Chains A and B, each alone.
Chain A
Amino acid sequence: MKETVSSVAIKKEWDIVGARQAGRQLSQELGFGSVDQARIATAISELARNIYLYAKEGEITFEELYDLPKVGLKIVAKDKGPGINDLSAVMQDGYSTSGGLGAGLPGVKRLMDEFDLVSDGEGTKVTTIKWARL
């Protein structure tokens, strides 16, 4: 079981693109199809934009998962921002983030296979995994 970890710091809007780029490269290497690559990239955008908009600073960490015959990509978005008060409200469809047009966290959950969210006064941590259908 080989696992590699890499991460991208999010401080400015431009870093969102960097995070997408890193995620796409990894998902390509892992053998994800073009739609899944696009989904992963969109999920990364959402997570990184949330950091940029609400916490100002944070990081996105990527981890390749080899649970053969499955391979997957684990993405962790972590920040030390104000945290989210009402988690179930945020996870409801129609709860607008990023100015109402973002897919929001429910969108991220749909785009990925596994999703977990922890938030308190110390910050927010979203952990999410996509498995490749090989």
Chain B
Amino acid sequence: MSSLQTDMQDYKDLLSKYLETKDEAILYQAEQFSKQSIQQNISPDEIVNVHYQALKDIYPDLHEQIEGSFKFLIETMISYGLAYQEHQVLREKQIELKSEIGVAANMQNTLLKTSVPKTNAIDIGVKSVPAKEMNGDYHHFIKDEQGNVGVAIADVIGKGIPAAFCMSMIKFAMESFSENQIYPQWILDSLNRVVNKNVEQGMFVTMFYGLYDVYTHQFYYASAGHEPCFILRNETKEFEEIDAKGLLLGVESAVKYEQLNTSVFEGDLIVLLTDGVTECRVDGRFIEQEEVLNIIKEHEHLNSQEIVDHVFKYFERLQDFQLRDDFTLVVMKRNTSLSV
């Protein structure tokens, strides 16, 4: 109470000085007063009352009609005061929620952590950035006992927290598979059953799964309704689309996925991405896929991590540093015999 009383006195002094001098400096102090009042959670009806009381002190013979009008004004301000207080409470709740989501996002990062395998055969680069706090994209690497590299890239249709839950489930399902069963077709068949059984209808997952055989340099792949991926051939400097037929994960219980393979030659560059990369919108238009591929081609002489970092920086800038969709890009480059 005492602080309101001092404020009251301050307000009265300010008001009477202002009425005498009409000085801008005092108006500036009034602005400071209102900021201070907001900090102390003083509601608008309270301020109107402070004004009324101050006016009565400065002009003891205040006209009865004026007094009445202030009572009228206070009455109309009460609901604003309530709305203000409610707003404060909701704001605090929002801050609380935000910090909880921050904790969840951190946890998701820990849960979904995957390390990029080191191997002499290929050089791998990856960049995955969520549009909001929780990432609905997912990528995962596996290295089997022989040193072959499995790579998964996935996108949950739907964003935010539900998508994040779904991703954690997929990750743990994948971890439970034995290291000797990393053929794309087998993985997608199995994951499809898991998603179909455990996820509510209406949530679907697209996934592209690839296995790089480091001995034969064959790349085996299968796709569950995912974006086509690409290989930039070193010899021709042309991109080849790599895509396989397959339903999204979770749509039907028994699906057999198609598995294809292609030979990877020295200097060839495999590109795996999510639609956040190819469907990033700028000024209402979708970026052409070619634009993405061109950027990759421009930087193909760099190492894989530098390539993905460049592509991300380019799109981040293009979208005014505000991603509309989760962005995940994986680049795998077969080392040339010279660079090994």
Could you mark each residue 67-99 of chain B with 1 if its beta carbon is under 8 Å from any beta carbon of chain A, else 0? 000110011011100110110011000000000
Is B89 in contact with A35, judged by CB distance below 8 angstroms?
no
**Count of residues in A whose CB is under 8 Å from the partner chain:** 15
Q: State A102–B59 Cα separation when bound (angstroms).
A: 36
Is A35 in contact with B45, judged by CB distance below 8 angstroms?
yes
A51 touches B (CB below 8 Å): no
Other A-B pairs beyond A34-B71, A35-B74, 19, CB < 8 Å: A34-B74, A35-B45, A35-B46, A35-B78, A38-B71, A38-B74, A38-B78, A39-B78, A41-B75, A42-B79, A93-B86, A94-B90, A103-B83, A107-B79, A107-B82, A110-B82, A111-B78, A111-B82, A133-B1
Residues in A whose Cβ lies below 8 Å from that of B77: 38
Is A93 in contact with B46, judged by CB distance below 8 angstroms?
no
Q: State A107–B319 Cα separation when bound (angstroms).
A: 43
Who on chain B is nearest to A107 by CB? Answer: B82
Interface of A is mostly: helix
Residues in B whose Cβ lies below 8 Å from that of A107: 79, 82, 86
Range for the number of chain B residues in contact with chain A:
10 to 19
Please list the residues of chain B having a beta carbon within 8 angstroms of any beta carbon in chain A. Answer: 1, 45-46, 49, 52, 70-71, 74-75, 77-79, 82-83, 85-86, 89-90
Residues in B whose Cβ lies below 8 Å from that of A31: none
Residues in A whose Cβ lies below 8 Å from that of B82: 42, 103, 107, 110-111
Residues in B whose Cβ lies below 8 Å from that of A42: 75, 78-79, 82
The smallest beta-carbon distance between A42 and chain B, in angstroms, is 5
Could you mark each residue 21-38 of chain A with 1 if its beta carbon is under 8 Å from any beta carbon of chain B, else 0? 000000000000111001
The smallest beta-carbon distance between A12 and chain B, in angstroms, is 22
Residues in A whose Cβ lies below 8 Å from that of B90: 93-94
Q: State A38–B49 Cα separation when bound (angstroms).
A: 11
Could you mark each residue 7-22 of chain A with 1 if its beta carbon is under 8 Å from any beta carbon of chain B, else 0? 0000000000000000
Is B86 in contact with A106, judged by CB distance below 8 angstroms?
yes
If A35-B46, A107-B82 touch, does A93 touch B74 (CB 8 Å cutoff)? Answer: no
Q: State A94–B52 Cα separation when bound (angstroms).
A: 31
The smallest beta-carbon distance between A133 and chain B, in angstroms, is 7
Who on chain A is nearest to B83 by CB? Answer: A103
Q: State A133–B52 Cα separation when bound (angstroms).
A: 18
Q: State A39–B90 Cα separation when bound (angstroms).
A: 21
